[in-house]
Amino acid sequence: MKLLAEYRFPEGAWSHVTTVAAVAVFLAEELKRRGRPVRVDVVRAAALLHDIGKAPGAPRDADHAATSAHIAAERGYAELVEPIRRHIVHSVLDPVAAPQTLEEKLVYYADKLVARDYVGLQGRFRDLKRRYPQTTATFDLCWPKVLALEGEVFAPLSFGAGDLPGLLGLG
- Residues lying near Fe ion in the complex (CB under 5 A) are found at 51, 111
Residue ranges of alpha helices (H) inside the chain are 2-6, 11-33, 40-49, 64-74, 78-85, 102-111, 120-131, 136-154, 164-168
Surface-to-core class of residue 46, CB atoms within 10 Å of its CB (0-12 exposed, 13-18 middle, 19+ buried): buried
Least distance in Å: CB of 33 to Fe ion? Answer: 26
Local structure of residue 118 (DSSP, 8 states) = B
In this complex, which beta carbon is closest to Fe ion, that of residue 48 or of residue 161? 48
- The residue (of 113 and 161) whose beta carbon lies closer to Fe ion is 113
Q: What whole-number distance in Å separates Cα of residue 70 and Cα of residue 76?
A: 10
- Quote the least distance from Cβ 51 to Fe ion, whole Å: 4
Nearest approach in angstroms of CB 24 to Fe ion is 11
* Residue closest to Fe ion (Cβ): 111
Q: Which is nearer to Fe ion, 33 or 116 (CB)?
A: 116
Compare residues 47 and 102 and give the one whose CB is closer to Fe ion. Answer: 47
Could you tell me the smallest distance in angstroms from the CB atom of residue 35 to Fe ion?
29
